[in-house]
Structure 1
Amino acid sequence: MTIRVVVADDQELVRSGFALILDLQDDIEVVAEVGDGAAAVAAVRELRPDVALLDIRMPVLDGIEACRAIAAQSACRTVMLTTFDSDEYVYEALHAGASGFLLKDVRRDDLVHAVRVVAAGESLLAPSVARRLIEEYTAVTARSAAGAGAAGAGAAGAGAVSGERLEVLTARERETLLHLGRGLSNAEIALAMVVSEHTVKTHVGNVLAKLGLRDRIQAVICAYETGLIAAGAGGGSAVPPSRE
């Protein structure tokens, strides 16, 4: 099965370079190259690709708004591209529906791998981008707490909400969500929980389905938003390890 891709970047050399790398693969076909977000949305609507590579900063319509429109109008999955790993729009882009986030200096093999992973329904974050996501969420949480003027009451309220939302999960599924929030792969989760990768896949699927999450990226966000992992706590949690 051929993976159909739209590449959107306002820098022609970058756009053409990514397209050339992808077109050289037997299982990938670049169906359109465009220079702005509005053209990307139109290309996705007309050509129905599997994946759209979107520069996060583009004229006419930026990558975030293009991503949001694509997610609302189609089943096409998006990978956001940026020049800097300190891009302040990482958190917003993931909330808009992005399934992956890569730096533009990504190695060609990693770019191809990312397209294949996202097309298969998974999600992917460059490690430095994952750190940025956590830092951004921590900053947002701190600003919200300061604005509320009552940090203690706010924390208690957040805990109650998270408890209610996560009640649908079993203890093992909560532990799986914790590891997802820390950015662990299925193989790493299997080692941490002392179970098979097949069992981990089952747990991950249950977590996503029960919480209404699209992919692992949303699971990372959920782990922080619900308080399962405390912002700024370095991935700590009160969930104890257990054996199956």
Structure 2
Amino acid sequence: MTESVTPPAIPHHILIVEDHPEVCQTLRADSRIAFPGCHILTAETLQKAQTLCAHSTFDLILLDIGLPDGEGTEVLRKPGVPEQTTVVVTTLFDDDEHLFEALRLGALGYLLKDDTGTDMVEALQGILAGRPPLSPSIAKRILQSFAPKPTQHMLSPREEEVLILISRGYSAREAAQALAVSAHTVADYVKSVYRKLHINNRAEATAEAMRRGLLR
């Protein structure tokens, strides 16, 4: 006789940690479609998120990484959130460093903010079926992590875009406008690009972009 498996409970209390009002509103709408009747609180800073987590228990947390006052993954560090809380990262960062750090700290899902509408709703509803919410590109990246690594560090598509823009002379603010993200987010991408490529300034970034054939 097959033993029945109890499906995960429907999330009734949800915390959305997101500093961009429009993105927060979209995630709120997606959450209400995925889990009708849920109660939602929001936090636009790391400090507010940590305060809410210290005084309330949530079934589900949708967690942005790039917050104005720090890394959203700090929420996952001890004392952090209870084990029964499902934490799903919702972010623009699609690089290995952010992905695997979040999973190592206990995140049970990783969704890119580009996955709006039906894709995001279906990913969230997958929690009820015991499916970890993962964007397709993120699931592929996890699988690729088990493959032999090339000797050269690879940039994510977004990091390549940032490299191209700064190589063309864009300021952080101009790059942020071109990519429709915050200057803070662009600064994080620039740091990641510089670290991966072992470069220290815009001139070296331009030379690297030309070597990779990214500039025409």
TM-score by length of 2: 0.55
Once residues 148 and 67 of structure 2 are traced to their aligned partners in structure 1, the CA distance between those partners, rounded to angstroms, is 26
Partner SS for 2:40: strand
Query: Is 1:71–1:77's contact at 8 Å kept on the other side of the alignment?
Result: no
Partner SS for 2:122: helix
Partner SS for 2:90: strand
RMSD: 3.1
Quote how far apart the aligned CAs of 1:102 are.
Answer: 0.6
Which digits, 9 at most, give the CA deviation of each residue in 1:173-217, with x for residues without a partner?
Answer: xxxxxxxxxxxxxxxxxxxxxxxxxxxxxxxxxxxxxxxxxxxxx
Once residues 76 and 58 of structure 1 are traced to their aligned partners in structure 2, the CA distance between those partners, rounded to angstroms, is 21
Q: For structure 1, list consecutive stretches of 5 or more residues without a partner in the other structure.
A: 144-244
Quote how far apart the aligned CAs of 1:25 are.
Answer: 5.2
Query: Is 2:34–2:124's contact at 8 Å kept on the other side of the alignment?
Result: no
Residues 1:114 and 1:12: Cα distance change in structure 2 (over 3 Å):
same
Q: For structure 2, list consecutive stretches of 5 or more residues without a partner in the other structure.
A: 1-9, 153-216
The reply on whether 1:34 has 2:43 as its aligned counterpart is yes
Quote how far apart the aligned CAs of 1:62 are.
Answer: 1.3
2:91 pairs, out of 73, 82, 86, with 82
Query: Is 2:63–2:72's contact at 8 Å kept on the other side of the alignment?
Result: yes
Once residues 36 and 137 of structure 1 are traced to their aligned partners in structure 2, the CA distance between those partners, rounded to angstroms, is 34
Match of 1:57 in 2: 66
Once residues 65 and 56 of structure 2 are traced to their aligned partners in structure 1, the CA distance between those partners, rounded to angstroms, is 21
Match of 2:122 in 1: 113
Query: Is 2:75–2:81's contact at 8 Å kept on the other side of the alignment?
Result: no
Query: Is 1:51–1:79's contact at 8 Å kept on the other side of the alignment?
Result: yes
TM-score by length of 1: 0.49
Residues 1:134 and 1:120: Cα distance change in structure 2 (over 3 Å):
closer
2:106 pairs, out of 97, 112, 116, with 97
Residues 1:20 and 1:127: Cα distance change in structure 2 (over 3 Å):
closer
Decide which structure has greater helix share.
1
1:20 pairs, out of 11, 17, 29, with 29
Which digits, 9 at most, give the CA deviation of each residue in 1:84-108, with x for residues without a partner?
Answer: 4336310111111111111101132
Identify the structure with bigger relative contact order (alpha carbons < 8 Å, sequence gap 6+).
2
Sequence identity percentage: 27
Query: Is 1:3–1:29's contact at 8 Å kept on the other side of the alignment?
Result: yes
